[in-house]
Amino acid sequence: MAKQARAVQTWRSIVDAAASVFDDYGYERAAISEILRRAKVTKGALYFHFASKEAIAQAIMDEQTSTVEFEQEGSPLQSLVDGGQQFAFALRHNSMARAGTRLSIEGVFLGGPHPWGDWIDATARMLELGQERGEVFPQIDPMVSAKIIVASFTGIQLVSEADSGRADLREQVAEMWRHILPSIAHPGVIAHIKPEGRVDLAAQAREKAEREEQEARIAAEAKGAGSDPDSGSRPGGAGLRGGGSGRGPRAGGTGDEGDEEPAGAGVAAGGVVA
C-alpha cells in the first residue's frame, strides 16, 4: 500500500508540474527537464509513469474535464450554464484547466480523441436532458448546438484572455448564454436561468480560504497550548512511526519508479527552450 500511495503521489506531482509548464510555455517549448525540476522527481520516475511528453500532455487534456461537474437534478440548462461558469473560473485559477485548453487550441491531438470531444458530448447530453424535461426546443439538434456552444466558449475565453487576462470572463460567458439561450430554449425557461451562474465562485473561494485560515490558526493555537516545554515531549509524537515522517524509501529500495530522490539540482541548465 505504501508503494502504491507513493506511485500515485509521484504521478500527481508530475502531472501538476507539467500542467504549469505547458501553461507557461505551450507544448512545443515545454521541456522535460523543466517538468522534472518543478515536480522534484527524477527522469527514471517520470518515464516509469509516462512514455513521452505526448503522454503527459494527453493526461492533462483528460484531466481538465474533471474540473466541471454537471448537476443532473433541477434545470439541465442552468446546470449547463453553471458548468460553463465553473470552467471559466478554473481557467483563471487552475493551471490544469489552462494547460488543457492551451494544448487543445494548439492542435496537439497526440493521436488520441478529439480534444474537445468530451466537452461536446457532455454538453449534448445536457441538451438532450433539457429536451426530455421540456426546457429545450424539440427541433434542436443537441450535437449541433453543443458544438456551437463549445466553439463559442473557446473563442470567448481567448478574446477575454487577450482583453483582460480573463478577468472579465464570467461576464463574457454570461453574455454568450444571453445570445444562445433564445435560440434553443423556451422563453418561460430563460426567465429563470441565471447566465452568471447560481453561485459566485470567487466569493465562495474567498470564504473557503478564510475558513481554512481560521481553522489553521485555531489548530496552531491548540497545538501550542497542548505542548509542555518541561517534559521534552512533542505534541502528536506518538503518531510518528519508524523515526519520522516525510522520508520515502531509499534509492534502489524497490526499483519500481526509478531513483525517487528529488531531481532538483540535477536538472541541466537551459531546461526551457527560449
Confirm whether 222 is domain-assigned: no
- Given this model, what pLDDT does residue 259 score? 46
Residue 6 lies in a domain: no
Contact 122, 178 (CB under 8 A): no
- Selection from 159-163, 203-207, 210-214, 231-235 with the highest mean pLDDT: 159-163
Task: Indicate whether 147 belongs to any domain.
Answer: yes
Which residues span the domain enclosing 142? 69-199
Residue 10, in any domain of the structure: no
Q: Is residue 132 part of a domain?
A: yes
Quick check: is 73 in a domain?
A: yes
Q: Which amino acid is at 232?
A: G
CATH number of domain containing 94: 1.10.357.10
Torsion of CA 222, 228, 234, 237, to 10 degrees: -70
Q: How many CA atoms within 13 Å lie on the side-chain side of 246? A: 1
Per-residue pLDDT at 68: 79
pTM (2 d.p.): 0.67
Using one digit for the tens of pLDDT, what is the confidence trace for 147-178? 999 999 999 999 999 999 999 999 999 999 99
Rg (CA), the chain: 23
Question: How much is the average pLDDT of 98-118?
Answer: 74
* 112 occurs within a structural domain: yes
pLDDT tens-digit series, residues 139-153: 999 999 999 999 999
What residue type is 45 in one-letter code? Answer: A
Total domains, the chain: 1
- Quick one: cell of 158? 481567448
Q: Rounded CA gap, 267 and 252, in Å? A: 20
Residue 224 domain flag: no
Maximum Cα interatomic distance, the chain, rounded to a whole number of Å: 78
